[in-house]
Amino acid sequence: MKKILSLMLLCATILFVSCKDDNETADSVSVDGVKLDKSTLSIAVGTSETLTATITPDNATNKNVSWQSSNTATATVDATGKVTAVAAGTTNITVTTEDGAKTDVCAVTVSGGPKYMIYGAKGDNLVFYDGTEIKPIAGFTSYGNYIKSCAQIGNDFYGLASDKHTILKNGVSCNDADKVPQNSSYKFYSIYASGTSLYVNGEDENGKATVWKDGQSMLSVDLGTSRFSEICVLGNDVFAYYSKYDVQTRISTYYVYKNNTLIYNAPDYRIEDMKVCGDKVYMTMTVSNSNNIFRYIYDGSTMTPDTNGGTQNLTVDDFIYFGYSGSSMYAIVKDPFGKYALYKGNIWNTSPKSVITPPASTKYFNIYYVGEYNNDVYEYGAYNVPDTDDPTKFNHKQAYGWKNSADPFRLPIDTINGVAHISQ
């Protein structure tokens, strides 16, 4: 009798739980639709705005949604509906409900800001990105290859490939005799643009350090086994520097040429960078076995230390970038905590213009380029993000841009070798 009663009680319990589950399923509310707060959106390059999705009915059980941009080269959207403008153009932002796959669309128009061209890498290929389309560079994979030097002339963007022979124009091999030296035995190390002319730094068939202007040799010096590291142009003059190591003293001496004339040598100093800004040539230098970094100026006749501030206590690794855009001088310095400080003007006696802090979930953050456009400063760089399959590994890079060090916008490539801004 007890066994029968126990069996009856068990069946009643099962029946009660089953009815409860059925009632809960019956009480779930399906999604009827989703509506965005905006059907159209106009934003400027480098800015962001968040869209809001409202699901009906309000008491729907599953309110999860996903977001997608039809053209990530123009604008991206994250999991919260935040739309970030990347480049001028149009795109559709679509929100989709997890329950029932209901959708709504916002048409986004991006305007303003610079149009940019980028050399870099995407997946297995070196690529040229014109702001709209990613174009693989023929003959170059991203394995062991890169664009080592870039130069802009108007709306054309030149790049020197790491094979030391190929010069690209807008992503395509350039064989224009009025721009590129025509000899397969030449080796090229860097390129530079001034006005409408392209300058190529390399060595000729006899091993002489040579600079070509629009395909014609204009500077040729026998440096033995040394070669010019970098060149720049001020007016009609070409400036170039190289280093020579003395095995007995273990000291590297850096030499600076103006055209075919040696104008300066710096024993036990290291030239980190050389740029033209306004009517002067600026060299950023470091002292061996020291944390000091300082700048020299060539004013057209003499090379003198920068009188605006002396030295700065920075390690060589801290100094990331030195250059100019328009008439403004820029420098990027990395602090011990991984933050990147952007200086405009004199790095020695001014506070940083802005600071970029890398996201906590990333590694190996680098800034590669600074450019000025309509009084706004754009910075471009990349960092490694966690792998999808193994979040403990950081093997994949993502390229980003920042406007005035804020509101990062993702670029549809992995790494950056060079950036050019052109007018819209």
Per-residue pLDDT of 151-176, as tens digits, reads 999 889 999 999 999 999 999 999 89
Residue 233 has pLDDT above 90, yes or no: yes
Give the angle 366-372-374 at the CA atoms, nearest 5°.
145
Give residue 89's pLDDT: 84
Residue 140 has pLDDT above 50, yes or no: yes
Span 361-381, average pLDDT: 75
Q: Whole-angstrom Cα distance, residue 343 to residue 329?
A: 8
Give residue 307's pLDDT: 57
Give residue 221's pLDDT: 92
Exposed e or buried b for every residue in 93-131, given b needs 16+ CB within 10 A?
bbbbbebeebebebebebebbbbbbbbbbbeebbbbbbb
Quote the tokens at residue 321: 């970038």
- Put the strands of the sheet holding 167-169 in their side by side order: 147-153, 156-161, 167-169, 172-173
pTM: 0.74
Residue 12 half-sphere exposure, CB side, CA atoms within 13 Å?
6
Residue 138 has pLDDT above 60, yes or no: yes
242-267 residue pLDDT tens: 988 878 877 778 899 999 899 888 77
Give residue 102's pLDDT: 95
76-134 residue pLDDT tens: 899 999 998 887 789 999 999 999 999 999 999 988 667 788 999 998 999 999 877 89
* Residues paired with 121 in a beta bridge: 126, 415
Which has more confidence, 7 or 87? 87
Q: Whole-angstrom Cα distance, residue 371 to residue 352?
A: 16
Residues 6 or more apart whose CB falls under 8 angstroms from that of 351 comprise: none
Residue 15 confidence class, pLDDT cut points 50, 70, 90: very low
Residue 225 has pLDDT above 80, yes or no: yes
Which of 99-108, 267-276, 297-306, 310-319 has the highest mean predicted lDDT (pLDDT)?
A: 99-108
* β 415-422/115-122 pair status: antiparallel
Give residue 186's pLDDT: 96
